[in-house]
Amino acid sequence: MSSVNLRTVYAFAREMHSKNANIGPIQYGTAGFRTLHDRLEYVMYRMGLLATLRSRSFSGSAIGVMITASHNPESDNGVKLIDPMGEMLEKSWEDIATDLVNVSDDDLEAEVTKIVKCQEIDMNANANVYIGWDTRYHSPVLSRAVMNGVIALKGNMKEYGIVTTPMLHYFVYSHNVKGAYGVPTEAGYINKLVTAFKQLRGDNYENGNYKNHLLFDGANGVGSLKMLAFNRKLEGALQCVVCNSNGKINYECGADFVKTNQKPPTGLPIAPANTRCVSVDGDADRVVYFFIDEDGKFHLLDGDRIATLIASYLMKLVSECGVKLNLGIVQTAYANGASTDYIKNELNVNVACTPTGVKHLHHKAIEYDIGVYFEANGHGTVVFNQQTKDLISKTLNSDDSTDDQKQASNDLILAIDIINETVGDAISDMLLVETILHSKGWDLKDWLATYDDLPNLQQKVKVKDRNVFETTDAKRVCVKPEGMQDQINMLVKKYKRGRAFVRPSGTEDVVRVYAEAADAEDVKCLAAEISMLVYDMANGVGERPVIPQQKL
Ligand SMILES: CC(=O)N[C@H]1[C@@H](OP(=O)(O)O)O[C@H](CO)[C@@H](O)[C@@H]1O
Ligand SMILES: [Mg+2]
């Protein structure tokens, strides 16, 4: 370590940290570090250092550094680290990351030395860091800071440039498993997904109510650029019109805008009623579908819908294969109650609930042979364990299998190839949904008819200190402040099919309130009552501000 003088390698990063010292500590949360872009240079430098150390701790396995602020406004940026198997950074290293970012410039070298010692890192081991970024104009500058961190610790790096978050997860994983998952390049990734998609689709691009045409809202982010690249390879097998490809990122468009406002994005061309539309977010790891019917009514098909559609399709193929596999769906408390009922009562599938944040869902999903996990906001994927894949391959190759069993196992293998198992991937999820709708001969109305969502609302309440709220049981029960949950229970009881919960956001300085009930007017009352309760419990009863109503 003595040969590496961190403080002289990147003097500018020191400046930035000192300048930002008054802003207070920042935390590696559910979405890594995320804040205004001009506060992040020293954070990026230090994440370059950390990724290099993390890689050395795995004897040189690639570690990813993704520079993005996902669905946040253009002025924000952020950074997330990707672990060797393409998953999110392990929890204990999130805490190490937080400590490393918050030490003063003078203590930086000592903090790095401490990590090396505590984690028993061999500083002579190889280190490989893969770096990618979204389309924000400040991302290239921030990527230089990450690179300087890697250089400071004499690591190797590969710049992937502008990529979606799930692409970088795929690159890291496929590199570390020596190509067994795919070729770790953009061409390799697109080729893998498109080849499987085309094979499943066959020569007939349309089927029943399914039409080969959709509008794609790229949130003015990286998703639109990559979708154009997919289109070149799809060669008409999917007629996907890419919109919102060169404006301000996430501005009045994208999956988060569509989901939270329950309205279409701006920037789409005028299209016939019932046209299939899809929105992804700024870094293309979330996806939702929507359409406007002949009466001008907007209909959303969110992550809950996608999970149920995928699960029903996979279950059918598994049963046609004649194999026994344990499939489960993982949701969060934000899942619509009607979707949970549908999973339990109609699909007869196991359903689990975890805290918000995809890493929690992912960890639960890998407990199943096939784990389908989605947040209501459209972030999710499917994971298959190795025994499941082996069993399906065995069915395909066995002389004892019938033609139908072979066909189903072949389709399952192709479906697995379309799926990016490392993390939620908007384009991969969309290609899978398109495959399923095509195979069922469904339009979006057919899909919507599977169950009726309960009316629901999500609100944000700004309080003095959001951390006075503590929750348990997958964030559904509020244990602090004392008495809060009893009062929520009393309010919820007043409304038919009422359900509500509150939790401090992990990514914004607000308390989130979620409410649902059988009646749309009841939901408004319930959400308002709970929001006022949150405000009073946090700030004391007094003059309340006007609470902005936000539809989900
Ligand atoms: C209600 C909601 O959508 N919450 C989002 C949001 O987390 P919060 O902790 O609620 O701010 O951002 C997370 C990271 O993108 C995402 O995983 C999560 O689903
Ligand atoms: Mg995102």
Q: What percent of the chain has a predicted confidence (pLDDT) above 70?
A: 94
Ligand 1 neighbours by CB, cut-off 6 Å? 30-31, 70, 334, 356-358, 375, 377, 379, 505-508, 512
370: left (phi over 0), alpha (psi -120 to 50) or beta: beta
Residue 1: pLDDT over 50: no
Would you give the end-to-end CA distance of the chain in angstroms? 51
280 alpha carbon – ligand 2 mean position (Å): 8
pLDDT, residue 550, reads 55
The residue-averaged pLDDT of 36-43 equals 92
pLDDT, residue 287, reads 98
Which atom belonging to ligand 1 lies closest to the Cα atom of 508?
A: 11
pLDDT, residue 167, reads 98
398 alpha carbon – ligand 1 mean position (Å): 45
Instruction: Please list, in sequence order, all residues whose beta carbon lies within 8 angstroms of the beta carbon of residue 377, skipping any fewer than 6 positions away.
Output: 255, 256, 259, 286, 288, 302, 303, 334
Q: What is d(CA 338, CA 316) in angstroms, rounded to the nearest whole number?
A: 22
pLDDT, residue 385, reads 96
pLDDT, residue 544, reads 59
Q: Is 76 a known ligand-binding residue?
A: no
Q: Is 62 a known ligand-binding residue?
A: no
Residue 157: pLDDT over 90: yes
185 alpha carbon – ligand 2 mean position (Å): 21
Domain boundaries, the chain: 6-162, 188-300, 303-428+441-448, 456-539
pLDDT, residue 298, reads 97
Beta-strand relationship, 380-384 and 370-374: antiparallel
Mutate to test the pocket of ligand 1, among 33, 359, 377 (most ligand atoms within 8 A of CB): 377
169 alpha carbon – ligand 1 mean position (Å): 19
Q: Pick the residue with more confidence: 509 or 133?
A: 133
Write down the architecture of domain 188-300 according to CATH: 3-Layer(aba) Sandwich (3.40)
Residues belonging to the active site: 70
One DSSP character per residue, 439-463 reads: HHT--HHHHHTT-PPPPEEEEEE--
What digits encode the pLDDT tens for the residues 283-340?
999 999 999 999 999 999 999 999 999 999 999 999 999 999 999 999 999 999 999 9
C-alpha dihedral (157, 162, 166, 172), degrees to nearest 10: -10
The DSSP symbol for 422 reads T
Q: Is 136 a known ligand-binding residue?
A: no
What digits encode the pLDDT tens for the residues 406-458?
999 999 999 999 999 999 999 999 999 999 999 999 999 999 999 999 999 99
Which atom belonging to ligand 1 lies closest to the Cα atom of 332?
A: 19
pLDDT, residue 192, reads 98
Read off the pLDDT band of 405 (50, 70, 90): very high
One DSSP character per residue, 491-540 reads: HHHTSTT-EEEEEE-SSSSSEEEEEE-SSHHHHHHHHHHHHHHHHHHHH-
Residue 10: pLDDT over 60: no
Query: Which residue has its alpha carbon closest to ligand 1 atom 16?
Result: 357
Cα→Cα distances 30→60, 195, 221, 520, 541, Å: 25, 33, 21, 31, 32
Q: What is d(CA 84, CA 96) in angstroms, rounded to the nearest whole number?
A: 17
Beta-strand relationship, 128-133 and 62-67: parallel
pLDDT, residue 2, reads 44
Cα→Cα distances 97→81, 191, 267, Å: 10, 35, 39
Closest-lying ligand to the alpha carbon of 34?
Answer: 1
User: What is 6-162's CATH number?
Assistant: 3.40.120.10
Instruction: Please list, in sequence order, all residues whose beta carbon lies within 8 angstroms of the beta carbon of residue 292, skipping any fewer than 6 positions away.
Output: 264, 273, 274, 275, 298, 299
Cα→Cα distances 299→43, 260, 294, 436, 444, Å: 41, 13, 11, 19, 9
Residue 212: pLDDT over 90: yes
Write down the architecture of domain 456-539 according to CATH: 2-Layer Sandwich (3.30)
Q: Sheet harboring 62-67: ordered strands across? A: 33-36, 76-82, 62-67, 128-133, 156-162
Q: Which residue has the tokens 């999973």?
A: 343
Instruction: Please list, in sequence order, all residues whose beta carbon lies within 8 angstroms of the beta carbon of residue 541, skipping any fewer than 6 positions away.
Output: none
Residue 18: pLDDT over 80: no
Asked whether this chain's domains 6-162 and 303-428+441-448 adopt the same fold, the reply is: yes
Residue 6: pLDDT over 70: no
Nearest to 286 by CA among 191, 238, 218, 192: 218
465 alpha carbon – ligand 2 mean position (Å): 26
Q: Is 281 a known ligand-binding residue?
A: yes
Write down the architecture of domain 303-428+441-448 according to CATH: 3-Layer(aba) Sandwich (3.40)
What digits encode the pLDDT tens for the residues 67-98?
999 999 999 999 999 999 999 999 999 999 99
pLDDT, residue 260, reads 86
Q: Average per-residue pLDDT in the chain?
A: 93
Mutate to test the pocket of ligand 1, among 30, 165, 379 (most ligand atoms within 8 A of CB): 30
Q: What is d(CA 375, CA 365) in angstroms, rounded to the nearest whole number?
A: 12
Q: What is d(CA 307, CA 286) in angstroms, rounded to the nearest whole number?
A: 13
* Of 220-234, 304-318, 441-455, 502-516, minimum mean pLDDT range: 502-516
Query: Residue 39: phi, psi to the nearest 5?
Result: -105, 10
Interface pTM, i.e. ipTM: 0.98
Q: What is d(CA 498, CA 416) in angstroms, rounded to the nearest whole number?
A: 38
pLDDT, residue 15, reads 54
Mutate to test the pocket of ligand 1, among 507, 514, 552 (most ligand atoms within 8 A of CB): 507
Q: Is 504 a known ligand-binding residue?
A: yes
The DSSP symbol for 85 reads T
